[in-house]
Amino acid sequence: MRQIENFIAGEFVGAASGRRFDKRSPLDNRVIASISEAGMPEVDAAVAAARAALRGEWGALTTEQRVDLLYGVADGITRRFEDFVAAEMADTGQPSHVMRHVFIPRGAANFKVFADVIKNVPTEAFQMDTPDGRGALNYAIRQPKGVIGVISPWNAPFLLMTWKVGPALACGNTVVVKPSEESPHTAALLGEVMNAVGIPKGVYNVVHGFGPDSAGEYLTRHAGVDAITFTGETRTGAAIMKAASDGMRDVSFELGGKNAGIVFADADFDAAVEGIFRSAFLNTGQVCLGTERVYVERPIFDRFVAALKARAEAVKFGRPEDHDANYGPLISQEHRQKVLSYYARAVEEGATVVTGGGVPDMPGELAEGAWVQPTIWTGLPETAAVVREEIFGPCCHIRPFDTEDEVVNLANDTDYGLSTTIWTTNLTRAHRMAARVEVGITWINSWFLRDLRTPFGGSKQSGIGREGGVHSLEFYTETRNVCIKL
């Protein structure tokens, strides 16, 4: 069993209180790690170390020097690729191919992408007239915002943590990271890489723990934290926003979603089935961009439901390293209880269970894991809880529609506005629909296809701000104006 400590000023340190908590495997519920729970002294020390690095060695580096170091971090992750894959699989239980081809490579890429962005981003300059005719010159400069509190989720731990740490460091900030208590491994492992490539001590810090009355609350309320970035559920975001209002500190939130998938009768049928399958069930449905509401044009509705049912029933449960396994467990027993409560509620509200709705039979010790079946429902009204509330599990409700106006209204009838995926071969309709659906990200005939330079974020209760490319710089830097009288 691994012992995981907090990472502060380049050192792995335990908590002064001696408090620790267990990390259990989602595969079989056995304890796989003991984690030091940071208290206020550790958060204080981490913030102080970040502040010292900001004013010291890190703050004295040129942009080119920072860029070189961040490229070194990306290369260091690649050198220890197998360690990161193993760590992420241990925390999440998800299949090896997802880690190898998506989550870990993207985590490494985040450092190179944002290093390139900061190296090449321009700023504004304006000449202006003055009464004396001599004029003045205004130009903008970008400065780091300061110490950034990074609170990252458990569903894609490394990718989503580095999605924030990468641009924060590229812009010259320092960070204190609070990873989810369910996924501590890769945040700790990244500390080893930071030391190995020569990132100055205090630039990257990690405090472990929970939210209320633990490391999360201590970090978000800390006066020494200049801005907070968070990915997670909407209710937690609201609590963090209240904490950040003390001191008028900036926040960047990527929050919940109840995303719609829309399939028109003219779509490439097989591609649409596969696309909706991925968007509903990838990572066992634990994806903020996932599709939990599916609307299918009536002429192909029955055929589509049958095809998606067959696809869902073909998944193979198993350990991440199993060659044939392509479907993992939920993150924890607690989360499984939440998902199963929605499964039961759907039946209570009158859903037709097309497939799933329960727990699969797993052999041996795997029977103790957080497994659930991929589940499809039909027949519910839009007012049903499983249609309106984010479940964050491998499930979707499918409803037929008849007109474009009808499906736009259905898709927009939600408190959330993160993403949608639309399947049609009519290019004019695709553009028209993309402009009408109230979300931050619209995919046409695809899903989860991301160019890291593009704006990422949600509307309504799905978030505040945008991440990606130059859009991240709006949060991680302060833009200042210099006016020179000529």
CA atoms of 261 and 270, how far apart (whole Å):
15
Computed on alpha carbons and rounded to an integer, the radius of gyration of the chain in Å comes to 23
Residue tagged 């920072």 (tokens)? 66
DSSP 8-state code for residue 103: I
Which candidate in 88, 182, 288, 292 is catalytic?
288
Partnered with residue 21 across adjacent β-strands are 35
DSSP-assigned states of every residue in 264-312: -TTS-HHHHHHHHHHHHHGGGG--TT-EEEEEEEGGGHHHHHHHHHHHH
* CB neighbours of residue 42 within 10 Å: 27
Nearest-CA neighbor of 272 among 423, 398, 411? Answer: 423
From the list 181, 182, 254, 297, the catalytic residue is: 254
* Cross-strand partners of 317: 327
Q: What is d(CA 145, CA 128) in angstroms, rounded to the nearest whole number?
A: 28
Phi and psi (nearest 5°) for 173? Answer: -80, 175
Q: The dihedral of CA 256, 338, 33, 214: what is its sign?
A: positive
Q: Is 288 assigned a catalytic role?
A: yes
Catalytic residue flag (residue 254): yes
Beta carbons of 311 and 398 less than 8 angstroms apart: no
Residues assigned a catalytic role: 254, 288
